Structure 1
Amino acid sequence: MFRVRRRDRFTSIAGRRRALRALAALAGAWTPLARSKTAPSLTPESRFPGGRGRRIAELIGANGWAGAAGDVQMWRAMGISWGRGSVGPGQPDGPQDVMRIDKTSSAFDSDLPPALIANDRHGIGSLLQLGYTPGWNASVPGDSNSAPVDVEAWERYVDAVVRTYSAPPYNLRYFQIWNEAAGRLSGGLAQATFWNGPDADGNVKTSKPYEHAMQDYVERIHIPAARIIRKYHAYVVYGGWPDQGGLDNFRKWLEYRSPTLKERMLDWVDYIDTHYLQVAELDSLYQQYVRNGPARGVWQTEIGDAYMKDPHYLPRYFFDFAVWALDRNWDDPNKYLSMVYHWDGYESFRLTHRGPPRRTYNASGRSLVVLNQIANGSLASFSKPLQFDSGASGSALRSGHDVVMQVSADPGWQTVSVGGIKLQSPRNARVEFVDALTGTASARDDVALAWQDQALKIRFRVPDRVNGADNKPPKHLAYLVIRGVA
């Protein structure tokens, strides 16, 4: 049912590069933290000795599983705390097949149970994606991205997965239904890549619209699967709305009421899930569906991919995500999550290069290591005003007793003033200016703080050779860390 698929990219009017890629769950990816996300009965503080509050790593996941012990350590260093992968192959050749749900990866050639047990042992959350339709049961002949003819066959697969993996020793509580199901996309495509109807002809440009895309998905895939997931007291993660689908279209899908089942899909979704959106674009979904319910949280189960060619993309995304979440009632460790696609590979923009001879960090992976080290305390909002020179901008949060500012700036001397701040010991206070990609701290003479007009004023020297991509003009991304804030 699963196979590797490569998605075409399309450019929107705003010129944003779009990503359409299905979950190709590689057999290697894990997360850190001494905390189990597969057992909701654990309080979030119980896995953080001596610490309370939210952590940056709670926001960070990756597609795939980590394999070797060394991979686990790299996940831990990067702050990755969730993995996402396939489960199957189900009954690939016919209804007479024995139900097989013990394999994962794009080719179903890796064992799933030991990966899930290892994840739990290392405090890694596991999200299983349910899909797709075996060819023998496909409404579009041979197309595994089409609706099942026999819905009961789909239900047997879902029930087998959730019944098995929600029980000990796995105790999973999060299951994702399908991947990027949609109808006509806002970018002009008549059909989505992973939800095809009778007029799909294999060519995204010439296929006719799938007129009953919404109804077929809600009635034949989503609600049947969601009923089973909730029967086993687990949570329903929406299948990842594609970024080029448009949020107005997404709302129509979520709020669609089946004329046959007399129910809305939204009432069978616990976690709203999108792909490849910027943090600011998540806010309308939070305000409409999470702030006062019915959903429990906002996830993105795919971010990154070719966007990571910009080395600032991931550290800016996750810092912005943390600042955003702290201001939106981040009262549960699993409420907000974004998962990098993909954590390993041969492209230079992936988090790691798999080797040979050995796995190493790429720039994007190192940037997560730095972020996880810089903001490694209990997080809290920082509401004091920041006033930057015209050549710099940034935002801030609290990490333990520190204030951490992420700054994007032009070369040369820059200044930021922070009003209303109190220091535990002003004489002993210190500030560091740290490269966001390498973790290298600047020389002491290149950063200084002083009090001026009842505000803390920080001067910092941005290097002439900035670490940003060659765009117009390139910027330097760094962290200003004020130690010992009350």
Structure 2
Amino acid sequence: MMTDLIGTNGWAGSAADIEMWRAMGISWGRGSVGPGQPDGPSETMRVDRTGVAFDSDLQSVLVRNERNGIGSLLLLGYTPRWNASVPGDTNSAPVDVDAWKQYVDAVVRKYSAPPYNLRYFQIWNEAAGKLSGGLPQATFWHGPDFSQDEKRSKPYERAMQDYVERIHIPAARIIRRYHAYVVYGGWPDQGGLENFQRWLEYRSPVLNERMLDWVDYIDTHYLAVADLDSLYQQYVKDGPARGIWQTEIGDEYMKDPHYLPRYFFEFAVWALARNWDDPNKYLSMIYHWDGYEPFRLTHRGPPARTYNVSGRSLIVLRETASGRLGGFSKPLQLGTGVAASALLSGDDLVMQVSASAGWQTVAIGGLGAARSRVTRVEFIDALTGNASAPDDLASSWENGQMKVRFKVPDQVNGAGNNPPKHLAYLVVRHAA
């Protein structure tokens, strides 16, 4: 289902939030767990809170998610200041690895059991060394010679070895001991995929093990769908990984109102062509589902939470492609100024089209046998869900092809794009 692909960062805080998640097709949430032992090793281990400041109750959130069929991904991190190898820096490796292991064990032991029943745990966030994008150290993984002033910061030479030996493999062993799955900590988009491959395949000289063999789900952040293919071919198609996730997408990319509907439709078409045999095999999580910026999925209020354009676009996508998905391999002939991709949703053919204003055409091959079952054709605005007027749409059959003419409005919904385009769904409805 399309909804299997869609998650978000953060949690639904109420029954009303859950209903908005359902409307947008969001089926997963991601958040922190702690605070652990922030002030010293003699403290009681606490893993009942969530949020940036650990100011929200985690247990009620997870029970609500479980009852409503929403998956929960817990992010395991970071190092308490008293245990940081870079003094006071919570994004550095622990001095005492056993303290890290005790935190991980407390989390996974508690939340893999009823009533929570979690099976997916993420280790750290965006751990990397020198980034292909130019930064000498990653934002969330610091070592010696780190400085907040990028010009003064120097590379962390043992970044891979310390992460694999002190963070990843110790945590992954615990996660698997509880029969749960290891989600890699989200490779940053500035890191470079070749660099990511080196990290995954790095073999610790101390443990004589590769990190890759302790990863169930390859995870990246903010990449285009096409960038995922090399990871699929190398690590998922024939193993050892079970799937590919992106636990952060969106953010300021959502200033383009076409970004999310195009991303998830493309992601679905991509997944359907790559052995999508498990509903949890592929997943992308939006950062963030609520806030005050106009590009977030919702505006949190006051007075009441409302949908922004990006949130409404997900509602339209969920409603338009609401059935069980299937690949569509028949040829599409596109008129000048039209780009399109297609999939099957239940008995319907759904094409996502990006087109210039004016009359446009799409010809669909291989539908001759289904001609008698076609009941109607619709042209649906991808941002508002509004269907075009009957006079702005026409279909005919020629030589076994279905030819559809549709009128794109002069006021396209991607006016800020260069060049301006209209994003819509062309849907061929079939009788069951």
> Which range, TM-score by smaller chain?
over 0.9
Displacement of 1:421 after TM fit?
1.1
Q: 1:286 to 1:434 in 2, by over 3 A?
A: same
Per-residue CA distance 1:349-404 (angstroms, 9 max, x = gap): 00000011100000000000000000000100000001111110110000011000
Is 2:256 aligned against 1:304? no
**Equivalent-residue separation in structure 2 for 1:370 and 1:320 (angstroms):** 15
The amino acid across from 1:430 in the alignment is R
The share of aligned pairs that are identical, in percent, is: 75
Flag structure 1 segments of 5+ consecutive residues without an equivalent.
1-54
In structure 1, distance between residues paired with 2:15 and 2:373:
44
Query: Within 2, Cα distance between the matches of 1:423 and 1:440?
Result: 30
**What's the counterpart of residue 239 of structure 2?**
293
What letter is aligned with 1:204? E
Q: What is the Cα deviation at residue 470 of structure 1?
A: 1.4
Which residue of the partner structure matches residue 21 of structure 2?
75
CA distance in 2 between counterparts of 1:427 and 1:395 reads: 22
Whole-Å separation in 1 of the counterparts to 2:193 and 2:203: 18
Mapped partners of 2:132, 2:209: distance in 1: 25
What is aligned with 1:433? 379
Cα deviation, residue 204, structure 1: 2.5
**How many angstroms apart in 2 are the aligned matches of 1:381 and 1:284?**
20
1:484 and 1:453 map into 2 onto residues whose CA distance is 20
Give the counterpart letter for 1:139 in structure 2.
S
Q: Does 1:241 align with 2:187?
A: yes
Among 272, 282, 290, which residue is 1:326 paired with?
Answer: 272
Residue 424 of structure 1: how far off its partner (Å): 4.4
1:415 aligns with 2:361: yes
Taking a change above 3 Å as real, the CA distance of residues 239 and 217 of structure 1, as seen in their structure-2 partners, is: same
Q: Does 1:267 align with 2:184?
A: no
Q: What residue number does 1:394 align with?
A: 340
Report deviation, 1:454.
1.7
Distance in 2 (CA, whole Å) between partners of 1:279 and 1:78 is 20
Q: 1:425 to 1:342 in 2, by over 3 A?
A: same
**SS of residue paired to 2:135:** coil
* CA distance in 2 between partners of 1:255 and 1:309 (Å): 36
Offset at residue 446 of structure 1 (A): 0.6
Contact persistence 1:119–1:126 (CA under 8 A)? yes
SS in 1 for 2:343: strand
Q: Cα deviations across residues 214-252 of structure 1 (Å, max 9, x unaligned)?
A: 000000000000000000000000000000000000000
- Indicate the SS of the match to 1:384: coil
1:168-183 aligned within 5 A = 168-183=114-129
Write out per-residue CA displacement over residues 420-468 of structure 1, whole angstroms, 9 at most, x where no aligned residue.
1146453853100000000000001111111012211000000000000
Residues paired across the two proteins, number: 432
Say whether residues 1:461 and 2:407 are aligned partners. Answer: yes
CA distance in 2, matches of 1:238, 1:427: 46
Query: What root-mean-square deviation, in Å, do the aligned CA atoms of Structure 1 and Structure 2 show?
Result: 1.0
Stretch of structure 1 that moved more, 372-381 or 418-427: 418-427
Whole-Å separation in 1 of the counterparts to 2:57 and 2:346: 40
**Structure 1 position 202 matched with structure 2 position 134:** no
Quick one: which amino acid aligns to residue 440 of structure 1?
N
Using the size of structure 2 for normalisation, the TM-score is 0.99
> Does 1:481 find its partner at 2:427?
yes
Question: Could you say if the C-alpha distance between residues 425 and 262 of structure 1 is closer, same or farther in structure 2, counting changes exceeding 3 Å?
Answer: same
Q: Which residue of 2 aligns with 1:348?
A: 294
**Which residue of structure 1 aligns with residue 70 of structure 2?**
124
In the TM superposition, what are the counterparts of 1:357-372 in structure 2 within 5 Å? 357-372=303-318
SS of equivalent residue, structure 2 residue 232: helix
CA contact (8 A) 1:302 1:339 kept: yes
With normalisation by structure 1, the TM-score equals 0.88
Whole-angstrom distance in 1 between the partners of 2:374 and 2:418: 39
1:69 is displaced (CA, Å) by 1.2
